[in-house]
């Protein structure tokens, strides 16, 4: 005989009740876990890259950046000390071209130009 047969009509068998409660709790836990994964993925997608996070800059890139800064500084000094208008104009054009090259290759020359605010 099973317990369901022994119990009078209208009564509840505790064993069956606990099984149902346990199944419901497991379903709720699984749903929360699945929703947590979805929410976690959404949070990861929404998070912007932190500005404080530093990216790796290779030695070659740092060397290139230092050399470009040095060239730009030397051109500035030459432009300031020159009295010949055609030399000044050529230096200005060279600076504009170098800045354009740096902008196009920011990965190769990181941190040379200041970001525009």
Domain borders along the chain are 11-46, 51-117
Dump pLDDT digits (tens) for 8-48: 666 767 777 777 777 877 777 777 767 666 555 555 555 55
Confidence of residue 63 (pLDDT cuts 50, 70, 90): confident
pLDDT of 1 > 50? The answer is no
Per-residue pLDDT reduced to its tens digit, 73-117: 999 999 999 999 999 999 999 999 998 988 888 888 888 887 765
Which has the closest alpha carbon to 97: 23, 105, 37?
A: 105
How long, in residues, is the chain? 117
Tokens of 54: 């530093």
**CA pair distance 22, 60, nearest whole angstrom:** 62
Cα(31)–Cα(25) distance, integer angstroms: 10
* pLDDT given for residue 77 in this prediction: 93
């Amino acid at each position: 005989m099973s317990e369901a047969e022994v119990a009078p009509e209208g009564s509840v068998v505790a064993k069956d009740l606990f099984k149902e409660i346990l199944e419901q709790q497991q379903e709720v836990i699984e749903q929360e876990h699945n929703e947590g994964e979805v929410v976690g993925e959404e949070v990861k997608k929404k998070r912007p890259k932190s500005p404080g996070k530093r990216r790796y800059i290779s030695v070659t890139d740092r060397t290139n950046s230092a050399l470009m800064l040095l060239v730009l500084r030397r051109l500035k000094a030459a432009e300031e000390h020159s009295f010949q208008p055609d030399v000044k104009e050529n230096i200005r054009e060279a600076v504009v071209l170098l800045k354009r090259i740096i902008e196009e290759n920011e990965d190769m020359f990181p941190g040379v130009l200041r970001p525009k605010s």
